[in-house]
Structures are given as structure tokens and as C-alpha cells.
Structure 1
Amino acid sequence: MKRYWIAGLLGATLLSHAYADGPAHWSYTGSHDARHWAELDQNFATCKLGKVQSPINILTKSAEKAALPAIGFAYSAGAAEVINNGHTIQVNLPAAGKASFDGVDYQLLQFHFHTPSEERINGKAYPLVAHLVHKNVDGKLAVVAVLFKLGKENTALKSVFNTLPAKEGDKTALDGMLNPSDMLPADATYYAFMGSLTTPPCSEEVRWQVLKTPVEISKTQLAQFKKLYRMNARPVQPLNGRKVQVSQ
């Protein structure tokens, strides 16, 4: 498995989490959907053989209450580039700050969207989720998932949804600065578990934090995204004995 693709892919041309640099084509529907990813390229074998795969269905009654440290969000306003990478809309952030998990700093690299949310809470999917992808100095990844429910317009992401590139490969630099902190809920309690990338090559050892409190997005904003990607969510994967913890 070419796990070291991640370092390169999480640069200016990151895809949803990390994708193959070869010719293998994958998708969310048809003969190249998630059921067949492992058959498309030998480097995608972990999508089938992995034991700590993401996303998962979080059962709140089974989540273990734990004295987890608060996520140390230290994001900053900076330039942002919006890219249609053929699988999602991704926002690359060259200088957006960092977050700390258990005292370890991870640089925020990008965020991207899935509809419906890949994570389910007690079997329920939200209309949309944003995955904020971070990497530490050792190349380890950590993802913060922000769930969206329908409601009022999300002003923090207004510039992004008004600038969605229509075609694969298109990119647009946002006017002004974008501060990722503005898209976070006020309550930052979270579910924590170990998992994987939710896209090929499905590499594991990814640290996941799913924020419990959703933020709002308007029907218009959701429709803008769904016009480009009607469905781009991997089905939930077995826990295989993993514990899900919840911060207090």
C-alpha cells in the first residue's frame, strides 16, 4: 500500500482525503462504487481488508464517556482555494493554522464536503458534513468532522458556496480571507475513534473527531453542492470491536 502518497496528496492538490496517483478510476455509484474499490487497484486492498475503516455509525448509548482533552483549535484567517477534484469540493488552506489533539499539533491542510454525511449518529445521516484534514510532523492524519443540518444560511461558508467550481479540475481563489474557526459550533464536545481515510486507498491510523453539535446550512447552499455532487458518501463500516469515546 502506498501509504506515503498521503504526504504529497495533502498538498495543493489534495483530493477528498487521499487518492491514488495512478489511472484507477473510482466513484460512489455504478461498477466503480465503494463495494468495488478494492478490486480496482491493488493499492486499494485496505478498503476491503482493513479492520478500522471509516466512516462509522456512532451509537450514542454505547459511546464511552471519557475525560478527553478539548481540541486545541488554533485556526487563523488566510487565503483559500476552492477546487472541484472530481469527487467533492475541497478548500485548500495554505496557512490556516493548526489544532492540537492530546497535546500534539496538527496543521490544518484542507476541508471538503460529503453529502449525505458519511458519519451516522444512531443510524441518522445529516444532509452534509465537512471533513477538516490535519497532518502532524510525523505525517499522521487527524480529521475533524463538522455536521450540517438544514436551517439558516451559513455565513462562514457563504463565499465558498458562491464560488463552487462547476467542472472537475476547475479551481477558484476566494476573495478575501477565510477563517475555519467561523465554521465550528460553539460546543466543541466530540466523539473520538481511530479509523481510516474514507476514500481510496482507505489508509488506516487516522485519528477521527466528530463534533457532536451540528451547524446550520440553508436549503439553497445544500442545493448548490448537490447540483455538483448528489451523493458522495461511503457507506458506514464495521466497528470490529473499536471503542468510540465521547468528551464531557
Structure 2
Amino acid sequence: MRKCFRRPHFTAAAVAAIAILALPACSSGANEPQANPAPHTPAHWDYDAEGPDHWADLDRDFLVCQRGHQQSPIDLASRIRLSPRDHITIEYAPVPSVELVNNGHTVQANLPAGNGNRILVDATPFELVQFHFHLPSEHTVDGVGTTMELHLVHKSAAGALAVLGVLLQARPGASPFAAVLGAAPAQAEAAITVAGPVDPRAFLPTDPDQFRYQGSLTTPPCSEGVSWTVLRTPVGVAAAEADRYRELFPHSNRPTQPLHERTVTLAGK
């Protein structure tokens, strides 16, 4: 005898329930919560084993150190002498104190926000946020460097950077950098407060001639778009102060980089 089977009847609700149960247990749908990726920690870099020639190999964020076309520092040579109106305007005054830090790469002095020190670059104001040193100098003039170099780093309200570079030449006697270089912490990541007044005007030469060009940070990540002004006339730094800095950082400079298609201008009297 042939057996007869009735086809089961499912309601619409039952069909929907079966479809839900058939879905994969681990969905990658857009609405599923995603784990937050771990924050990227920049790679360690230095001026020796992991020096400037290898910075781009250390971290993807450092690739512009090798591939960029507006890198700093550069060799400065006299170009077209411009009129004084092409100078940047420097408006400095004493500050009560600075925080002095050994950051493992250099000696850096941090200024409090709203300190009133600024430069005007093409009418845009940039506030002085910190200054630090390199040994030997990073910029050269006609291929010749100096004992050290001071970088005064400024930031605009929009976050753009402008750096004022001062070449320092070792000389006998005291210098305006004694209070800072003489107090530099010997241990990396150590910080102290240097009581002032600290007057950035004392760090500048009387000769206003200045080189101007577009460049980058001289340390990783070597970000470009930095407005550079380097004063042509060196300022004296005491030989003993330079020697003490050298004990902490035997060398802390990046070699000069290709100019590519950039123009360097010399604004003078």
C-alpha cells in the first residue's frame, strides 16, 4: 500500500523565525559593535643607530622624511636681496619662567600659553610655544655650519607652524643662554622650572638679515608646510655651555636636505 504524506504547512511567522535561525552566528554587519583599534605609538628614533638615514624605515608616519620635497634643514646661499618689508616681524618680551625639559633628543624650553611672544609672517601671527637647541647647527650657509642652532617654534591660531632659527657660534665669556643651557637636566624626560625673567630678545642678533623658505620639521615625522626664517648673523654661545650640551647630546642635528624646486630669499636692509 502506498503511503501518503502531507506537506507541512508553515505560517509566515514560522518562516521568518526559521530564516533568522539560519543566519550565521558571527555576522560582520555594519551595525555590529567593533573593537576600538589600539592607538598608534610612534617608533623610537635617534641620531645614531636609528638616525636620519633610517627614520623613514622606522614608522609609516615617518615616510615623508624620505619622500618629501620640502624637507629641512637646507644649505642657505644668498639669493635675491629683498626690501625690509619682506622681513618677518618679531615681537618678543621677557617671560617670568620656562619649563626646561630633557626630552631625550635635545634641551627644550616650554613657554606658557598666552605668553605674548610672537612673530608675524606675512601678517599672520604665530605665538612662541617652545625653543630648543641642536648641535652642530642644522642649517649651513654656503656649506658652512656653526657650533649650535637655536629653534624658536611658533604656532598660529589655525595650528600652522613657523620656526625662527638662530645660528650659534662658540665664543669666550658668558652668553644669553647661560640660564637655560647651564640648568639643563642631565636625565632624559626630566624637567625643571627655570625662574626668569627669560628674555627671547637676548637670543637674537642685532643684524636683521634673514633667510626665508618653506620647509619641514627637522625631526620625525618631518611634517612639511613649516614657514622657516633663519637669521643670517650668528649669536655667541659660551664654549663651556656648548661643551655641557655636547656631554648630554654629542650630536643632535639632521643633515641638510635637497632644495628641489624651492626658492630661498634673503631679506635685508
Structure 2 length-normalised TM: 0.81
The size of the alignment, in residue pairs, is: 226
**Deviation by residue 1:109-147 (Cα, 9 ceiling, x = unmatched):** 111000000001111110100000001111110000000
Percent of aligned pairs sharing the same letter = 37
Any unmatched runs of 5+ in structure 1? Answer: 1-20
Corresponding residue of 2:110: 92
Alignment partner of 1:70 is 2:90: no
Within the candidate set 47, 51, 56, 1:28 is matched to: 47
Corresponding residue of 1:104: 124
After TM superposition, give the deviation of residue 64 of structure 1 in Å: 2.2
The letter of the residue matching 2:45 is: W
Counterpart contact for 1:131–1:143, Cα < 8 Å: yes
Residue 220 of structure 1 aligns to a residue whose secondary structure is helix
Corresponding residue of 1:18: none
The letter of the residue matching 2:189 is: G
Residue 48 of structure 1 aligns to a residue whose secondary structure is helix
After TM superposition, give the deviation of residue 155 of structure 1 in Å: 3.5
Counterpart contact for 1:52–1:196, Cα < 8 Å: yes
1:1-248 pair list within 5 angstroms: 22-30=41-49, 32-60=50-78, 63-67=79-83, 68-78=85-95, 79-94=97-112, 95=115, 97-248=117-268
Counterpart contact for 2:175–2:238, Cα < 8 Å: no
Counterpart contact for 2:212–2:266, Cα < 8 Å: yes
* 2-structure distance, mates of 1:34, 1:176: 35
Counterpart contact for 1:84–1:164, Cα < 8 Å: yes
* 2-structure distance, mates of 1:39, 1:158: 38
Any unmatched runs of 5+ in structure 2? Answer: 1-39
Counterpart contact for 2:81–2:267, Cα < 8 Å: yes
Larger displacement relative to structure 2 (75-84 or 123-132): 75-84
Structure 1 length-normalised TM: 0.87
**Deviation by residue 1:164-186 (Cα, 9 ceiling, x = unmatched):** 10011111101222011111111
Residue 181 of structure 1 aligns to a residue whose secondary structure is helix
